[in-house]
Chain A
Amino acid sequence: MDYYLQQLVIGLSLGMVYALVAIGFTLIFGVLNVVNFAHGEIYTIGAFAGLLIFVTFAPPLVVVLLIVLAVGALTGVGLERFAFKPFRRFSDEATLKSRAMREATLMSSLALSIVAREGIELFFGSQFQALPLSHMLNSPIKIGPVTIVDGDLIIFGTSFLMLAGLQFVLKYTSVGLSIRAVSNNPLGARYVGINTDRTIAWTFAVGSGMGAVAGLLVGLYYGAIFPAMGFTPGIKAFVAMVMGGLSSIPGAVICALIIGISEALSSIFVSSVWQDLVAYAFLIITLIFFPRGIFGGARERV
């Protein structure tokens, strides 16, 4: 029983990390209707930025988190500027309907993600980089029958704070209002005088900042980071987004938690090498039986 509880805690913190990554995907998909393939690399950049900051300044964790948030946001804005904005220069109907153009936007973020990953690999090498041990979040804490590490609590707490912050930004600030307006109807938002370009840049800043923090937290939790680390969480978060119905943030968060918990619990029954299958199985089942996602509202055809 204790073991189950312990796996549940691990699953929750894993799920929270997926949720942070999935929110970025969902926000960006909401405003632009395209998948940002470079989102996994933002996660990696967050982890490596954290490593550099730790090695050079060794400030307290909160400061690192804030710096990484800023680095992620800036990277996101840069990514939007280079990989997405140039393609909005075409706005005639033929181009918008053209398959090649839509796929081009998708591939531009992919191309930049290759450049980013290979750049990190060139600079740091493709091997695992160890974070300084003193900063690792794995001092055990005993709560009743369950032993968890402080990393679980920090991941949980940070993610919770960030989710609350996101809700605040989206509900009570003018930036959040314009993000919601653009994702609801881009053309309508323009008609009422919202600066869509700036809103999209803000969306990338918010989403990428959260993704970068997720990367840093995972790096601290496992103590090792590597250039290709963003790939698996990126795919899991993508799955969570689809399960949650593509544009629903609460849906994505809940599905990310479901995926995290079921992965952790599945390792009780089968060898942990198979646990990646869980997320993909969820994905296929969702797509076949609930093609709009579990929490998706009425959308167009799927």
Chain B
Amino acid sequence: MNASDTTPRRWLWTGLILTALFVLVPLLLSLAGRSYFYQIANTIMIFALLAASMHLVTGVAGLLQLGHAAFYGIGGYGAALLATHFKLSFVFTIPLAGLMAALIAFLVAVPTMRLVSIYFAVATLGIGQMLHVITLNWVPVTKGPNGILLFGGMKLFDIDFSKPVPAYYLVAVIVAACVYVIHRLSHSYYGNALRALREDDQCADAMGINTPRLKLESFTVSGFFAGVAGALWAHTAGYISPADFNFNVSILILSMVVLGGLGSLPGAILGAIILIGLPEVLREFKAGDFRNIIIGIVLFGVILFQPRGLIGEVSALDFIRNQLGLGRKTKTDGKQMRVGWL
């Protein structure tokens, strides 16, 4: 690859993304003027966060995670229970739900971290299913299949966050902050270390990377963000039930990551937009019955013809390093140089 660098247009791209998220989309939504559209936008953002968190553990660290919905569920139930039993404000429940999910993810990760490849995937699948069975049948706490209703407003500083527009901004701010953290984690030396252990963990170990610890950290951090997403879901939807967090949701999140391209953060977010947005678009065209089939066909087609994903890892990294200017440092003579690989 050519060593001469283009100047990063960091502010241009950051500005574009932030304008789209905080100005353009709300403007379009208010023109459409249906609160249902706001709910779709919130769902897309929540799933973008879920896909981004799975991108960290599955795409970057290479740990195939088939139980991600379980941590999403812990976050959702944690927030709902804290809000209904202890009357805590969402300001506290959202981070606490994330911490709960992170704690459980840590406890899950400790015994399973030394497994590799498909064995690890199966272990996460089993644990995810166990947690699902527990939420379904531990009726005194989780109310079983009936789910939990969250009453009461989400008021802070006289703003009612259960109204569509403030709710949109709340979700957008939190998701943007979390995705930024994931972006910094996965596009840095830390991310490169995770990518090294994905490609060959024995080799990474031999080069002095503490692989068990990195796996543990990435799994826990990804659990934290899944928990935050769950709490956001519980608060914006106002109702949760075990069906929101079953195995199909894990697979849906995995599909988003694979569709966009494993190891590619923009891809994961694009995958979330497509797989949540496409069914809603089809619903508008009265093709509701066919929407799940169409998702399956789209997924199959992309995998068949573009097996590295819509935005492959290499082009995603190229974009991030050249346009967002990460993975560079300024030398003493003022010139920029690339660091890390690529």
> Could you tell me which A residues sit within 8 Å of B by CB distance?
35, 83, 86-87, 97-101, 103-104, 107-108, 110-115, 118-119, 121-122, 231, 235, 238-239, 242, 246, 271, 273-274, 276-277, 280-281, 283-284, 287-288, 291, 301-302
Q: State whether A273 touches B136 (Cβ < 8 A).
A: yes
In the complex, are the beta carbons of B122 and A114 less than 8 A apart? Answer: no
Q: Is there contact, CB below 8 Å, between A35 and B133?
A: no
Once the chains are docked, how many angstroms separate the CA of A149 from the CA of B115? 43
| Chain B residue total in the interface (Cβ 8 A) | 45
Minimum CB distance partner of A284 in chain B: B126
Determine the chain A residues whose CB is within 8 A of the CB of B328 once the complex forms. none
Q: A302–B112 Cα gap in the complex (Å)?
A: 11
Q: How far is the CB of A281 from chain B (nearest CB, A)?
A: 7
User: What are 11 A-B contacts defined by CB distance under 8 Å?
Assistant: A100-B258, A100-B262, A104-B258, A104-B307, A107-B258, A110-B299, A111-B297, A115-B297, A287-B112, A287-B122, A287-B126
Q: Which residues does chain B contribute within 8 Å of A277, judged by CB atoms?
A: 130, 133-134
B255 at the interface (CB under 8 A from A): yes
Asked if B97 is at the interface of the complex by the 8 Å CB criterion, the answer is no
**Closest B residue, CB atoms, query A288:** B111
Contact B125 A122 (CB under 8 A): no
Q: Lowest 6 CB-CB distances: which A-B pairs, in order?
A: A114-B296, A111-B300, A115-B296, A104-B307, A111-B299, A283-B126
Determine chain A's interface SS by DSSP, over half rule. helix
B248 → A minimal CB distance (Å): 9
**Cα(A108)–Cα(B292), bound, Å:** 15
Interface residues of B in 99-146 (CB under 8 A from A): 111-112, 115-116, 118-119, 122-123, 125-127, 129-130, 133-134, 136-137
> In this assembly, does B304 line the interface, its C-beta being within 8 Å of a C-beta of chain A?
yes
Q: Which of A101, A122, A246, A276 contacts B129 (CB 8 A)?
A: A276
Residue pair A110, B255 in contact (C-beta under 8 Å): yes
Give the residue of A115, A119, A242, A274 whose beta carbon is less than 8 angstroms from that of B122: A242
Provide the bound-state CA to CA distance between A186 and B297, in Å. 30
Please, which residues of chain B bring their CB within 8 A of the CB of A246?
Answer: 118
Contact with A along B25-68 (1 / 0, CB 8 A): 00000000000000000000000000000000000001010000
Please tell me which stretch of B147-155, B176-184, B210-218, B308-316 contacts chain A, meaning at least 4 of its Cβ atoms lie within 8 angstroms of it: B308-316
